[in-house]
Amino acid sequence: MSVRSLLFTPGPLSTSLTVKEAMLKDMGSRDHVFINAVKDIRNGLLQLAHVGKEDGYECVIIQGSGTFAVESVISSVVGEKDKLLVLANGAYGERIVKMAVIHRLNHEVLRFDEDAVVTPEATEAFLKDHPGITHVACIHSETTTGLFNPVAEIGAVCKKYGKIFIVDAMSSFGGVAMDMKSMQIDFLVSSSNKCIEGVPGFAFALCKRSELEKAKGQARSLSLDLYDQWAGLEASGQFRFTPPTLSLMAFRQAMKELEEEGGIPARELRYKSNKQTLDEGMTALGFKQYLKPGIQGHIISSFLYPSDTGFNFERFYEKLNKRGFVIYPGKLSRANAFRIGNIGQIFPDDVKALLIAIEEVLKEERLKM
């Protein structure tokens, strides 16, 4: 009998049985039930960001992983005469830089250390010195480490200087209260398999319509053309290319379950409880965190390797995996660390079970902290 796995990762995540069951019925892409589900999802996602079509905002669903949607936005909305500033303090900011290079976008990069947040002060100083910047991209929850960048404050700076603000909220949207309008975000990107607790298959961009409309005809990719994807959905409710039907039906169920839980405030509280339980337990076991407490988000935590030279992460990972707990390797460039996610269909009791398993493995490996 196989052990049920709990995913303590930044996504894909553990999902409820009812979300999985929503994928059991085959669904045609032109089925009116499916088209209505897509409409409900698009409107519902805007509501979660505290905006709506009546406020001048649109939701565009993109087939593929979250990176597909980020690239769709970056390669569609930054025109030939525009210039993008990427604020980078981790692997996901650097991924946007790579997109800018591949698509040959005019761009600049303002880098910060992996254990430091992007600051509005440094952003403002850079914009003063580089008046040609038109667009600014920033990661909200940088899952390289688990820190939260102050996107509301950065958004205020962007608007002060008349810049278009693009936010990758991949691992945070749905698990953190975010008001697009008050945070002055023009494009917010996330995906189906993060805090809303759906399964992989698609991502989405929440867009200020007036800025989205400027992207008409300037995309650098056919399949990632953000404007054309939106125009197609608006015209017929259908996708230009084959949609991930079952992922979308699962996501509609996941959105219902988010509402039943009490919305984003309740889910945020559960995730914070998970993190508190995890942090207290890992500290008791002798682990040290990579980040200072003041800049940590509650989505994922980075823990430094034990000082014991006998520690082998691959063996540690496999032994936890066999016990039904899946954690995540680190992506740090300057330190050896691993990551444990606090999101998905997991609860404080699940975290306690993980901690027991970690203690067992430490004893089995005879590791000293």
| Domain edge (last residue) among 260, 286, 309 | 260
Instruction: Please tell me whether residues 246 and 343 are part of one structural domain.
Output: no
Q: Does residue 369 belong to any structural domain of this protein?
A: no
Instruction: Please tell me whether residues 177 and 287 are part of one structural domain.
Output: no
pLDDT digits (tens, 9 = 90+) for 36-88: 999 999 999 999 999 999 999 999 999 999 999 999 999 999 999 999 999 99
pLDDT digits (tens, 9 = 90+) for 220-245: 999 999 999 999 999 999 999 999 99
Q: DSSP for 219-259, please give it.
A: -S-STT-HHHHHHHHHHHS--SS---HHHHHHHHHHHHHHH
Q: Does residue 331 belong to any structural domain of this protein?
A: yes
Neighbouring CB atoms inside 10 A of 333's CB total: 11
Please state the φ and ψ torsions of residue 60, each to the nearest 5 degrees. -115, 125
Per the structure, how many domains does the chain have? 2
- Token pair, residue 43, equals 């409107």
Instruction: Please tell me whether residues 203 and 346 are part of one structural domain.
Output: no
What is the Cα–Cα distance from 352 to 369, expressed in whole angstroms?
Answer: 19
pLDDT of residue 3: 54
| Domain edge (last residue) among 228, 260, 292 | 260
In this prediction the pTM is 0.96
Q: Does residue 255 belong to any structural domain of this protein?
A: yes
What CATH number does the domain containing 88 carry?
A: 3.40.640.10
Instruction: Please tell me whether residues 171 and 210 are part of one structural domain.
Output: yes
Find, among 234, 366, 190, 356, the residue nearest to 284 by Cα.
356
Task: State which residues form the domain around 292.
Answer: 6-11+262-364
Q: DSSP for 126-189, please give it.
A: HHHH-TT--EEEEESEETTTTEE--HHHHHHHHHHTT-EEEEE-TTTBTTB---TTTTT-SEEE
Instruction: Please tell me whether residues 302 and 330 are part of one structural domain.
Output: yes
- Token pair, residue 57, equals 């905002």
What CATH number does the domain containing 268 carry?
A: 3.90.1150.10
Instruction: Please tell me whether residues 173 and 26 are part of one structural domain.
Output: yes
pLDDT over 80 (residue 1)? no
As a whole number, mean pLDDT of residues 331-339 equals 85
